Amino acid sequence: MSAPRPRAAYLDHASTTPMLPAAVDALTAALAHVGNPSSLHTAGRAARRTVEEARERLAAALGARPSEVVWTAGGTEADNLAVKGLFWARRTADPARRRLLVSAVEHHAVLDPAFWMAAHAGAELVLLPVDGDGVVEVEALREELERHPDQAALVSMMWANNEVGALQPVAEVVALAHRHGVPVHVDAVQAVGQVPVDLAASGVDALTVSAHKVGGPGSTGALLVRRGLDLTPVLHGGGQERGVRSGTLDAPLLASFAVAVEAAVADRAEHAARVGGLRDDLVRRVLDAVPDAVLRGPADTARRLPANAHLTFSGCEGDSLLYLLDAAGVEASTGSACQAGVPRPSHVLLAMGVGEDDARGALRFSLGRTSTAADVDAVLDVLPGAVERARAAGLASAGVGV
């Protein structure tokens, strides 16, 4: 009998992170009870109480009013509701407002609905450029708003980029957009639990959050929508969530979600300091071991997520590196999309001005609450050899030295 495989070094927390024990406890406790929150009998009212208590807890943790929380089935649905719902509401109120301003480095949960709106709903999509660090160029937004006054329906951007970890200029974008009467949606899926996120203090009009990124269950999310802002529904049915988002609410998932956000926000500073230290050690040692590797995103640690380390390795295919690391017990991600089985360089890196060849050799290491120094050691034990093998494979496939 073969020996059991040792515990993998999991460095893909930006993709999904283990549930927090408190969130597991909240979920299992609530699962023991039956009841549809829309039902009027005793069990239904008890389920409704669980839902509303979760709404209050999540709102308090993120600087919102309970009435501003709209439950969704995850971050993707929340982003779609924001992009489509806000655009349609604004366009209905003022047909001239048809320009949809979206940063070029958004997650596909924002980019894809934005392109869909341009193809099917009469939107004029404007992709806002970013600098070499992956940060939105505020001056480009200023020029767009001044060149086309009273035509923008919505600005949508991330709080922090999911691939290279770049923190975005939320305050500047909000101030500028509001000066022109334009609401701002921010995808804060990666930011909650790593940096301060507060709906009211930020001035943001709509904000997306996802449970499984902060230690909660999957298939659960929320869109926080500033009170008084019109939002056209995307789903139609039973009229739940004040008619904004129809669908039966899952009380156990929402209870667990709220507990996870509450816990992640409560220990954010301590968590950020700890994983930031691990991240800095990882980056330093990778650059020492593979001197021509390049850290992508802001070099200033104050301008990037503390748990993110995104590097490119010239002459390598990211997928090859990923498989080699995985075989050695290190789990990370490439940060690139794979469509129809054909590896493609990350749209984020390309928007930052990284060449296609370099962009193909991307690896993202993201840490979480279960990460340890041993995980960093595991990466350094195998990464240099993996880079050598990936480069040799690349040369062989190109016919070099054969």
pLDDT at residue 5 above 60? Answer: no
Name the average pLDDT for the chain: 95
Please state the φ and ψ torsions of residue 357, each to the nearest 5 degrees.
-60, -45
Q: Find all residues with CB under 8 Å of 155, minimum gap 6, and list them.
A: 101, 102, 141, 173, 177, 182, 183, 184, 185
Catalytic residue among 175, 201, 266, 338: 338
CB-CB neighbours of 370 under 10 Å = 11
Can you give the pLDDT at residue 399?
65
In this prediction, residues 100-108 reach a mean pLDDT of 98
pLDDT band for position 7 (50/70/90)? confident
Least confident of 294-303, 352-361, 386-395: 386-395
Ordered structural domains, the chain, with CATH: 21-266 (3.40.640.10), 268-397 (3.90.1150.10)
Q: What does the pLDDT look like over 338-386, one tens digit per residue?
A: 444 556 899 999 999 999 999 999 999 999 999 999 999 999 999 999 9
Can you give the pLDDT at residue 78?
98
Radius of gyration for the chain, computed over Cα atoms and rounded to the nearest angstrom: 22
123 half-sphere exposure, CB direction, 13 A CA radius? 30
Can you give the pLDDT at residue 344?
82
Least confident of 2-6, 131-135, 202-206, 321-325: 2-6
In this prediction, residues 243-271 reach a mean pLDDT of 98
338 annotated active-site: yes
